[in-house]
Chains A and B, each alone.
Chain A
Amino acid sequence: MDVLLVDDSKTMRMLVQRAIRQAGYRSLSIGEAENGVQALETMQKEKPTLVLSDWNMPEMSGIELLQSLRQGGNKTPFGFITSESSTEIKDLAMSSGASFLLTKPFNPDDVQTALEPFLGGC
């Protein structure tokens, strides 16, 4: 699996997948999870190159997922795609080990810029 997409909105998972394809990453293997708990379960079986996660989700939020991964020694690159845009949230994301925070709404260029350091050019 190249990318694990974590968002409680099926619509947003579809939009992110579409943006990833439009950014030129047409052959990536993309897995999905509806919240942090599902993502942790998936990551016990799979080792994605990159995790893309929403912030606010039921069961386990994106920041809780990231903190759980880092506390367990998992260093998989992690980026947020969220409607959260305040400085305090960005600071918390980065200090917890996130590589980037992409604010909704986004376009394929934004996605390509964010993904390229981890997935290479396309």
Chain B
Amino acid sequence: MAEPKPFTIAQLFSGLSGRTVNFTQILKAPATKAKQVYGVYLVKPMDATRVVQLDLPLLGSFGGALLGLPASTVAERIAAPTLDEPMRDAVSEVLNVASTIVCIDNRAVFQTMHIGTEALPKPIAESLRNPAFRSYFNVTIDGYEGGSFSIFAPV
């Protein structure tokens, strides 16, 4: 499958957040200790699954930028046991817009968001252990906390 280019992804997120965003592709899985968030997508017409995995602080940064929140407020909100409704809605919309770059050959439709590895449905969690395709990125966003961003095509 055609690989999404870092510049293309960065353009999408810069346009969405109104901030300068940089994506740098890396070869190995990012070593991150942040809580993970998963966006699950359905790729049409073959009904294949595609998964985006990213650090919660990074996703919170994008959501916070959409809501016009300062970085310090974003950090407080994502540290809460559960995301409040405005932040949850904003980060869901970020994952929805990301459907454009999750699969550039076909149409991807955002399905569900899962916060924490333990919340990921078991079949998807198992399929991520040996995916058919993976792409890793380090991400920076001007004025907010960056983090890691990965795209997987489960077998």
Contacts and interface: CB of A to CB of B under 8 A. Distances in A.
Contacts of A104: 16, 96-97, 100
Contacts of A10: 86, 89
A11 B95 CA distance: 13
Classify chain A's interface size: 10 to 19
Given A83-B97, A107-B15, A11 B107 contact: no
Nearest to A87: B107
Contact of B93 (A12, A85, A86, A89): A12
B40 interface: no
Interface residues of B, number: 19
A103 B100 contact: yes
A9 interface: yes
Query: Which of B92, B100, B109, B110 has the most C-beta atoms of chain A within 10 angstroms of its own C-beta?
Result: B100
Contacts of B90: 11
Contacts, number: 40
A99 interface: no
A3 B35 CA distance: 40
B22 interface: no
B12 interface: yes
A15 B12 CA distance: 16
B89 A11 contact: yes
A10 B66 CA distance: 11
Nearest to A110: B15
A105 B93 contact: no
Query: Which of B63, B90, B96 has the most C-beta atoms of chain A within 10 angstroms of its own C-beta?
Result: B96
A105 B67 contact: no
Nearest to B87: A11
B89 A83 contact: no
Given A11-B90, A104-B16, A105-B15, A88 B96 contact: no
A9 B93 contact: yes
28 contacts: A9-B92, A9-B93, A9-B96, A10-B89, A11-B63, A11-B67, A11-B86, A11-B89, A12-B93, A15-B66, A56-B109, A56-B110, A83-B97, A83-B99, A83-B100, A83-B110, A84-B107, A85-B100, A86-B106, A86-B107, A88-B107, A104-B16, A104-B96, A104-B97, A105-B12, A105-B15, A105-B16, A105-B97
